[in-house]
Structure 1
Amino acid sequence: MGVHILRRGNQLAIVGDGEARGQAAMVLQQLYARLESGKQVEAGDVDGAIRMGDSAEGTGTRDGDQMELFKGGTVEIKTRKKTIEPRTDAQKAYVTSLFENELAFGIGPAGTGKTYLAVAVAVNMFIGGHVDRIILSRPAVEAGEKLGYLPGDMKDKVDPYMQPLYDALNDFLPSKQVTKLIEEKKIEIAPLAFMRGRTLANAFVVLDEAQNATTMQMKMFLTRLGEGSRMVITGDRSQVDLPRGVQSGLRDAENLLKGINKISFNYFTSKDVVRHPLVAKIIEAYDAADMKSQAKKA
């Protein structure tokens, strides 16, 4: 942040220009408030507080059992195992749109929390009684591997593709409860192809890796939306694994549905990556290489 922090006993002195000093003081105050409320402060929380900068302004709360929205400048998603807080402005806007819109898109590179936050909101709305079930889906598109060579029946073959969704669920709900809810069909995790012919009512539906859905698959999925349901579509346009010449349904949906009321589009960049700091640098390096390649072709 361009400042030095000097410690003398239990007092901190912030040295730097006026604006940077004020922002650093605000970050420290936010972190102290976090500690005073009984929460942990980890490296990711410090990083998140710095990223959010001075853009957080309290605007009250909304749906008390659903989400503590903008209380004290933060957004919180409460689940059974943990409370989730967005760590960038883009994540904050995304979470807000998930609660405000029946159909939302989250588009951006890996590691920006698109799917993780969507599943967190799904769990939050489920335990709050706002939806009756959670449906998580993704295209079972081969990224260099062949499904047919995997052992077991169809479920065994596609489960590895669904594993990121299982991982996210297990972060928010006790594993025994996840197993029980899956057995009771309160939570469904299935390949996109299994959605055909269904009407998904009173459900929170997440389609992950949507860049690997074809145009027809995307249309099929979007038209499954039923009464009392919410739908989130996440994807990364730079990681399309479809056969050459096959148009990504995510790109088509983005072009066709922009401007329709109650459909939100939220975009992430490498600056919103919340994994290891090297991930953001890796994404930027690949993006720069792609731009050079396109420039040469032009």
Structure 2
Amino acid sequence: MKQKKIENYTSGVLEFEDNLLLPALYGEHNSFLARIENEFGCELSGKGNLLSVEGPEEACLLTRDVLLSLYERLEEGNEVTIEDVEGAIRMVAMLDSPAPEMVVERDEVADEDAVIRTRKAVIRPRSKNQAKYIKALKAKDMTFGLGPAGTGKTFLAVAMAVSHLLEGKVERIILSRPAVEAGEKLGFLPGDMKEKVDPYLRPLYDALGQMISMEQTEKRLERGEIEVAPLAFMRGRTLSDAFVILDEAQNTTPMQMKMFLTRFGQNCHMVVCGDPSQVDLPDGTKSGLRDAMETLGKIRDIAFINFDSSDVVRHKLVGKIVKAYDEKQGTQS
């Protein structure tokens, strides 16, 4: 970006190669630009393939980074939604935060170690902890993703699993989940076991559908390359040449968690996702996820990545709700 600086005020121009991508970059009625302007306090004005950026120097730099990251998504054939805009804003804000616990190298945004590539999409982190999580998924054979709903724990794990499968690093993906529900019993649901369990595995199907087409998902399910099964079906098996994901792990018992983790075989990649604060087990039953955190926390070969409300990538109201509950729990403890 060519810049002209007057005291602390900067005027610069971004030049984009492909005019056809700019409507998608700017949003309907320039809504994405308006959101960025509102966030950073700068002024944006487009003409042809040029976009002028005016405002405080730091605001212009952050605005540039957000726009370039979104433009790169479009160049790679992906769409840009308001959620992507919010995620890009949150990412650059975190990277530039002066707080010591938030210090991350700016290159981490473009770091290939923090990117997941599949045939259908290129997935980039939308928060500092997501970047750490993606790197852990690549570097460790066993990773725990811990934190509230909407932080991308399961979605990113499924994306990494699909990437491994398409690259031939594993022969199959196994997705599992304990059949424990909030206030409901499987026995009262209609249908056979598959029909009873499917509603609880739906989020995993949805994540698969965003990585590869639903048609491809169904074909791979039929061939056994993708297996979706309740946790109880894991007993007695050794899982080799597989990428295995356990979702909603907070609803396992300690014995179930031990059973699952000891299925680990040759060339196995295992990811355990859950929210220790959202346990649906009967009162007095200890969560297998919390027990595993206490038991395995010192094993260096296992990564534990903690997410919080700032990592929520659903509607920003979800993050506020999670934060409010966290604050309430903190005052009561």
TM-score w.r.t. the length of structure 1 is 0.88
Matched, 1:31 2:70: yes
* 1:78–1:124 CA contact under 8 A, matched in 2: yes
| Residue pair 1:3, 1:14 contacting (<8 A) in 2 also | no
Alpha-carbon shift at residue 180 of structure 1 (Å): 1.9
Partner of 1:88: 127
Q: Which residue of 2 aligns with 1:273?
A: 312
User: Residue in 2 aligned with 1:173?
Assistant: 212
**Alignment partner of 2:258 out of 194, 219, 222:** 219
1:249 aligned partner: 288
Change (3 A) 1:123 1:11: closer
Residues 114 and 132 in structure 2, CA contact (< 8 A), matched pair in contact too: no
1:250-282 Cα distance to aligned partner (Å, 9 max, x none): 111111111212210101111100001111111
Cα distance in structure 2, aligned partners of 1:77 and 1:245: 40
Contact 2:78 2:121 in 1 (8 A): no
The 1:69/1:3 distance shift into structure 2, 3 A limit, reads closer
- With 152-161 and 105-114 compared, the bigger mean Cα shift is at 152-161
Residue 35 (structure 1) shift: 4.2
Question: Matches of 1:205 and 1:99 in 2, distance apart?
Answer: 14
Give me the whole-angstrom Cα distance separating, in 2, the residues matched to 1:93 and 1:235.
17
Residue equivalent to 2:196:
157
Q: 1:218-267 CA deviation, whole Å, 9 max, x = no partner? A: 00100000000100000001110001111111111111111212210101
Q: Secondary structure at the match of 2:116?
A: strand
| 2:42 alignment counterpart | 4
The answer to whether the Cα contact below 8 Å between 1:51 and 1:89 also exists between their aligned partners in 2 is no
**Higher helix fraction (1 or 2):** 2
Task: Work out the CA distance in 2 between the residues paired with 1:136 and 1:38.
Answer: 28
Alignment check: 8 A CA contact 2:53 2:60 kept: no
- Contact 2:146–2:274 (CA<8 Å) still a contact in 1? yes
SS at match of 2:278: coil
Shift of 1:192: 0.7
The answer to whether 1:232 aligns with 2:274 is no
Over the matched positions of the two proteins, sequence identity in percent amounts to 53
Q: 1:15 aligns with which of 31, 55, 76?
A: 55
Q: CA deviation at 1:21?
A: 3.7
Q: Which AA in structure 2 matches 1:70?
A: D
| SS at structure 2 position matched to 1:199 | coil
SS at match of 2:244: strand
Q: Counterpart of 2:100?
A: none
Aligned equivalents of 1:69 and 1:135: distance in 2?
30
In 2 relative to 1, CA 172–5 (structure 1 residues): closer, same or farther, beyond 3 Å?
same
Match of 1:62 in 2: none
Amino acid at match of 2:179: A
Which moved further from structure 2: 44-53 or 273-282? 44-53
Q: Deviation at 1:27?
A: 2.6
Question: Match of 2:111?
Answer: 70
Aligned residues: 283
Question: Which residue is equivalent to 2:8?
Answer: none
1:63: which partner in 2? none
Letter in 1 for 2:54: I
Which consecutive unaligned segments of at least 5 residues does structure 2 have?
1-38, 96-103
Residue of structure 2 in register with 1:138 after alignment: 177
Q: Distance in 1 between matches of 2:212 and 2:40?
A: 40
In structure 1, stretches of 5+ residues that fail to align are 60-67
TM-score relative to the length of structure 2: 0.79
| Residue type at the aligned position of 2:308 | T
The letter for the 1-side match of 2:210 is: D
Structure 2 match to 1:286: 325
More displaced, 32-41 or 128-137? 32-41
Find the aligned partners of 2:139 and 2:260 in 1 and give their Cα distance: 21
Mapped to 1, the partners of 2:330 and 2:224 lie a distance apart of 45
Give the CA deviation at 1:149: 0.9
* 1:188 shift after superposition: 0.9
Which structure is higher in RCO with an 8 Å CA cutoff and minimum separation 6?
Answer: 1
Q: Distance in 2 between matches of 1:137 and 1:210?
A: 9
Q: Which moved more, 1:123-132 or 1:250-259?
A: 250-259
In structure 2, what is the Cα distance between the partners aligned to 1:37 and 1:153?
A: 43
**1:50 partner SS:** helix
